[in-house]
């Protein structure tokens, strides 16, 4: 071997050195196919190296991320890695892991790399067109289905306003077999994903999807809101009943526009802006919901809204100024007020 000859296209001294180390490794390992691999690494070494790298890139819970990426790659549950610490990764596996870890190091969300996440026990496919479902939102969905199952009607209906991946709508449909769900989103791309998710979770026939800007989308599909008529009473409107919902549920965008830039890169650069941006003060969607949702709610129906940290009082005020009766404000796992439940 001529150590003074630079390989074509490799310029820096480091690159030259790396090239020869690789050649040497191939020589040692007798693996001519593993040109990009230095030495065979074990599962444990791969986890440690990946975790180190991710930690340096500012990824939270870097070891957990490393384990989940490797488990995904090796198609085994994360815990099974622990029984395989000494297993040697093949050259192809090492290369693939390097690619995945590199993407995570660029702060692409783990869920985007893996392609799905778990929400209330449902597998939810994710991509750049919809917000990655958050654990806090599982609480909202759970409140929703707990309410729906108490309705004891042969058909209960719910509207998921701003469905994104479809996670809330799907969880409601799965947990409440008597429910027929409507799911609305402005983004056609998000709806395509939500439909796919409904099919994956075998509830597609009980979810109707609407594309458009708010309640107008439902109206334009021939749906009409309940017409309030104090004198005639609700019974006169039974023909319109099917256009009313037992539950209107939403996790709308609630970040103030100017704050989006301050969010962690996983959110700022990968969640769709439209799923985050709640207008100048972050509350635009609550004002719209408070003003418009009543017409689509059964008289004894409920509205359940998720919101951001510190927004509880403002949202309560918005709802009360539109004459909603606020029943409760619920906290998330870290005791932050997160969900408002109200009725007409």
Give the binding site for ligand GLN (CB under 6 A): 131, 133, 137, 162-165, 167-168, 251-253, 275
Tell me whether residue 62 or residue 165 sits nearer to ligand GLN (CB atom): 165
How many whole angstroms separate alpha carbon 67 and alpha carbon 208? 38
Answer whether 270's CB lies under 8 Å from 112's CB.
yes
Beta bridge partners of 158: 181, 247
Question: Residue 5 contacts by C-beta under 8 Å, 6 or more apart in sequence?
Answer: none
Q: Least distance to ligand GLN from the beta carbon of 288, Å?
A: 13
**Torsion angles phi and psi, residue 103, rounded to 5:** -60, -45
CA nearest 306: which of 139, 132, 166, 122?
139
Q: Which is nearer to ligand GLN, 168 or 181 (CB)?
A: 168
Q: Is 194 helix (H, G, I), strand (E, B) or coil?
A: helix
The least distance separating ligand GLN from the CB of residue 229, rounded to whole angstroms, comes to 32
- Least separation in angstroms between CB 163 and ligand GLN: 5
CB of 15 to ligand GLN, least distance (A): 44
* Comparison of 62 and 137: residue with beta carbon closer to ligand GLN: 137
Mind giving me the DSSP string for 125-180?
A: E--TTSPPP-HHHHHHHHHHHHHHHTT--SSEEEEEES-TTSHHHHHHHHH-TTEE
Considering beta carbons, is residue 97 or 305 the nearer one to ligand GLN? 305
Minimum distance, C-beta of residue 344 to ligand GLN, in the bound complex (Å): 22
Our CB check for ligand GLN shows the closer of 34 and 252 to be 252
Q: How far apart are CA 142 and CA 312, in angstroms?
A: 19
Q: Which CB, 65 or 251, lies closer to ligand GLN? A: 251
We find the least distance from the C-beta atom of residue 165 to ligand GLN, in angstroms, to be 6
For residue 47, give both structure tokens: 């986890």
Name the residue whose CB lies closest to ligand GLN: 164
């Amino acid at each position: 071997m001529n150590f003074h000859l630079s390989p074509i296209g490799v310029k820096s001294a480091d690159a030259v050195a790396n090239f020869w180390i690789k050649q040497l490794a191939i020589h040692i390992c007798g693996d001519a196919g593993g040109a990009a691999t230095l030495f065979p690494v074990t599962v444990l070494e791969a986890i440690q190296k990946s975790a180190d790298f991710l930690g340096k890139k500012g990824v939270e819970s870097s070891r957990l991320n490393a384990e989940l990426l490797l488990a995904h790659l090796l198609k085994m549950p994360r815990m099974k890695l622990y029984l395989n610490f000494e297993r040697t990764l093949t050259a192809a596996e090492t290369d693939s892991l390097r690619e995945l870890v590199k993407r995570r190091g660029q702060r692409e969300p783990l869920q985007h790399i893996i392609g799905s996440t778990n929400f209330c026990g449902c597998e939810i496919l994710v991509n750049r067109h919809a917000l990655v479902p958050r654990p806090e939102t599982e609480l909202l969905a759970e409140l929703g289905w707990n309410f729906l199952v108490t309705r004891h009607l042969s058909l209960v209906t719910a509207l998921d306003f701003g469905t994104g991946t479809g996670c809330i709508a799907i969880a409601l449909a799965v947990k409440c077999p008597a429910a027929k769900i409507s799911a609305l989103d402005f983004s056609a791309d998000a709806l395509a994903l939500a439909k796919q998710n409904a099919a994956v979770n075998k509830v597609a026939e009980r979810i109707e999807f609407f594309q458009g800007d708010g309640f107008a989308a439902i109206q334009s599909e021939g749906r009409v809101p309940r017409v309030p008529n104090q004198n005639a009473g609700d019974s006169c409107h039974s023909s319109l009943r099917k256009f009313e919902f037992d539950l209107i549920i939403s996790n709308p965008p609630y970040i103030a526009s100017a704050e989006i830039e301050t969010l962690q890169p996983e959110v700022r650069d990968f969640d769709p802006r439209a799923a985050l941006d709640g207008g100048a003060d972050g509350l635009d969607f609550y004002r719209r919901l408070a003003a418009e949702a009543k017409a689509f709610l059964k008289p004894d129906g409920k509205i359940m809204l998720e919101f951001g940290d510190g927004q509880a009082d403002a949202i309560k005020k918005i709802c009360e100024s539109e004459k909603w009766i606020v029943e409760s404000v619920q906290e998330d796992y870290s005791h932050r007020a997160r969900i408002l439940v109200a009725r007409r």
